[in-house]
A and B are shown apart, each in its own frame.
Chain A
């Protein structure tokens, strides 16, 4: 091992080497890299037609029947003559927005409450966990729909609603990993040294206990996109014409099967946004899998 390197860099290298030992991590991160590139370069790949709202898909005409790929619309058009290529490109940005926002907010709430609940225990723990239990009693989709209906429809409302529901998972996982950490000698040692509770949580408990939650969160980013797509599909999410994969699937819902003589006639309308969703979810799931292997405490060197 090179001694001149700063140990933190060495440690980071070690962790990265562990992650990229796993073939699924390589596939996952390459897929993610493609999505990130597309999202970043969206204005160049598919220049927006309406400068004030680039997420609005351009459309020529109002015909309900999707048109097959052509030189003008390389992925064809969907119902309402929206350009599928444009939707797929800008939908990537939407997907990242949904995943990052929902999971980010849910993580912050969940991790904070989980640490407090697990570290202090007693009556605080009791209250927080009972609230979580109550939220857990209602299924994710039902609760989200209820909140969206109360707020009014829209993609932003869906995102807020999902974040408000999703944190419940992280509280439980975080708390359970804290409960074992709390009794460890180094936490006790810190207490003997007079380190304040806040510092103990920040320096000793958070860095050692957050990995299970991180693994879970990385997998959830994908599934949140599916849930948001579902909300768009049932008409509670993005408005018509918004560049969102779920919304595009919703547009094509009447053209899943083509006419009797050519059932695959409108395949592009459903397959392209569908494939985007599947690949996006797959990428995050593979990454989550690789992270889980890399952070597995059993495999960590002594």
Chain B
């Protein structure tokens, strides 16, 4: 499989009043084409910061201090990698929502309460697909008015200009006249048509009707579907879902997960799923990365991770999850998640680790390969530790 997006030694810090929060410390992960990658970890472990850094939407006082984010937009082969951290803000804007789109945890704050659902979905088309839509409208016009009509042909010329060179001076002069308004209306209509189409695609009944409603008319699950619709509007190469289902009820979450799985087969090529729920990972992902306190501890195929977890943190985490068949007391991980202003030296998990050795305190474990596509950052599996012991 070919790479789609990859981070290399990504470092992100937050410069707060209490000190520098080292939120990400050399995170390297890679999402392949057609793969569902799950990023799991507890709150504050940096999983959200990772994807926000990838999309360059880190908020003040956060700053990306190092590393690379390589994006391979070409469908096959890694010949054309672009480093997203080097791109201009304009390029990123064009990329977000088009090639890569994101859905967040809280559908309420993701939707604008004073715009109808249809308009909000259509906005995405108007922003990213203006050119394509203009071409289509012109083609439709060509088909419908074949007879020579001087007025119509002038109009058409104007429209063509609007479609190809929207910054032309003559258009600015005419921008408030009904001539160009009708062009805008056509664009809007086309965007709305596409919006309804995509809403219907997400197995939402009465798409026409829903498009005319406002967010407060819809339930939480429905809103999250609309957010997904907006994200999928432009057929992104990568969909990033940041805790997309964790605010929903179990039965609604089941619906959304089913929808995502279904879409995965039909529409989306790759998904980067961020969650704290190992159950969701097991059911939906192909590959998993486990994060702890700003480090990526373990990356593996989903089957390997659940059958043969290597990192002590992964093991402990899997033991702490309540299960159907499990009896007796639940195992817990002693201690608390460290404060990232002064993270523990060496391996950040060592104060809570049962297998901690002296080396864990002093040195940071490099990621090592322990099997087929399985990488662990732990001294239990490196040469160095074996030498010492």
| Partner-B contacts on A (CB < 8 A) | 18, 21, 301
Q: Could you give, for residues 1-38 of chain B, a 1 whenever the CB lies within 8 Å of some chain A CB and a 0 otherwise?
A: 00000000000000001100000000000000000000
A-B contacts, 4 of them at CB < 8 A, read: A18-B17, A21-B17, A301-B17, A301-B18
Secondary structure class of chain B's binding surface, majority of residues = loop
Bound: A2/B17 CA distance, A? 17
Which residues in B have their C-beta under 8 angstroms from that of A21?
17
User: In the complex, what's the smallest C-beta–C-beta distance from A142 to chain B, in angstroms?
Assistant: 38
Bound: A21/B18 CA distance, A? 13
Which residues in B have their C-beta under 8 angstroms from that of A301?
17-18
User: In the complex, what's the smallest C-beta–C-beta distance from B125 to chain A, in angstroms?
Assistant: 34
Bound: A301/B17 CA distance, A? 9
Bound: A301/B16 CA distance, A? 10
Within 317-354 of B, Cβ neighbours of A (below 8 Å) are at none
Residue of A nearest to B16 (CB): A301
Which residues in A have their C-beta under 8 angstroms from that of B17?
18, 21, 301
User: In the complex, what's the smallest C-beta–C-beta distance from A187 to chain B, in angstroms?
Assistant: 24
Bound: A292/B326 CA distance, A? 52
Bound: A21/B17 CA distance, A? 10
User: In the complex, what's the smallest C-beta–C-beta distance from A302 to chain B, in angstroms?
Assistant: 10
Bound: A300/B17 CA distance, A? 10
Which residues in A have their C-beta under 8 angstroms from that of B18?
301
Residue of B nearest to A18 (CB): B17
User: In the complex, what's the smallest C-beta–C-beta distance from A20 to chain B, in angstroms?
Assistant: 12
**Which 4 pairs show the lowest CB-CB distances between chains A and B?**
A301-B18, A18-B17, A301-B17, A21-B17
Bound: A251/B18 CA distance, A? 53
Residue of B nearest to A17 (CB): B17
Bound: A18/B18 CA distance, A? 11
Bound: A18/B17 CA distance, A? 9
Bound: A301/B18 CA distance, A? 9
Bound: A290/B2 CA distance, A? 54
Residue of B nearest to A21 (CB): B17
Residue of A nearest to B18 (CB): A301
User: In the complex, what's the smallest C-beta–C-beta distance from A287 to chain B, in angstroms?
Assistant: 20
Which residues in B have their C-beta under 8 angstroms from that of A18?
17
User: In the complex, what's the smallest C-beta–C-beta distance from A122 to chain B, in angstroms?
Assistant: 27
User: In the complex, what's the smallest C-beta–C-beta distance from B302 to chain A, in angstroms?
Assistant: 34
User: In the complex, what's the smallest C-beta–C-beta distance from B328 to chain A, in angstroms?
Assistant: 32
User: In the complex, what's the smallest C-beta–C-beta distance from A2 to chain B, in angstroms?
Assistant: 15
Bound: A301/B339 CA distance, A? 13
Bound: A257/B94 CA distance, A? 62
User: In the complex, what's the smallest C-beta–C-beta distance from B127 to chain A, in angstroms?
Assistant: 29
Bound: A18/B16 CA distance, A? 12
User: In the complex, what's the smallest C-beta–C-beta distance from B336 to chain A, in angstroms?
Assistant: 14
User: In the complex, what's the smallest C-beta–C-beta distance from A38 to chain B, in angstroms?
Assistant: 34
Bound: A193/B17 CA distance, A? 36
User: In the complex, what's the smallest C-beta–C-beta distance from A22 to chain B, in angstroms?
Assistant: 12
Bound: A12/B17 CA distance, A? 16
Residue of B nearest to A1 (CB): B18
User: In the complex, what's the smallest C-beta–C-beta distance from A1 to chain B, in angstroms?
Assistant: 10
Q: Could you give, for residues 151-194 of chain B, a 1 whenever the CB lies within 8 Å of some chain A CB and a 0 otherwise?
A: 00000000000000000000000000000000000000000000
User: In the complex, what's the smallest C-beta–C-beta distance from B31 to chain A, in angstroms?
Assistant: 31
Bound: A293/B114 CA distance, A? 30
User: In the complex, what's the smallest C-beta–C-beta distance from A137 to chain B, in angstroms?
Assistant: 31
User: In the complex, what's the smallest C-beta–C-beta distance from B16 to chain A, in angstroms?
Assistant: 8
User: In the complex, what's the smallest C-beta–C-beta distance from A111 to chain B, in angstroms?
Assistant: 29
User: In the complex, what's the smallest C-beta–C-beta distance from B358 to chain A, in angstroms?
Assistant: 28
User: In the complex, what's the smallest C-beta–C-beta distance from B341 to chain A, in angstroms?
Assistant: 11
User: In the complex, what's the smallest C-beta–C-beta distance from A265 to chain B, in angstroms?
Assistant: 53
User: In the complex, what's the smallest C-beta–C-beta distance from B48 to chain A, in angstroms?
Assistant: 16
Within 114-164 of B, Cβ neighbours of A (below 8 Å) are at none
User: In the complex, what's the smallest C-beta–C-beta distance from B81 to chain A, in angstroms?
Assistant: 38
User: In the complex, what's the smallest C-beta–C-beta distance from A229 to chain B, in angstroms?
Assistant: 39
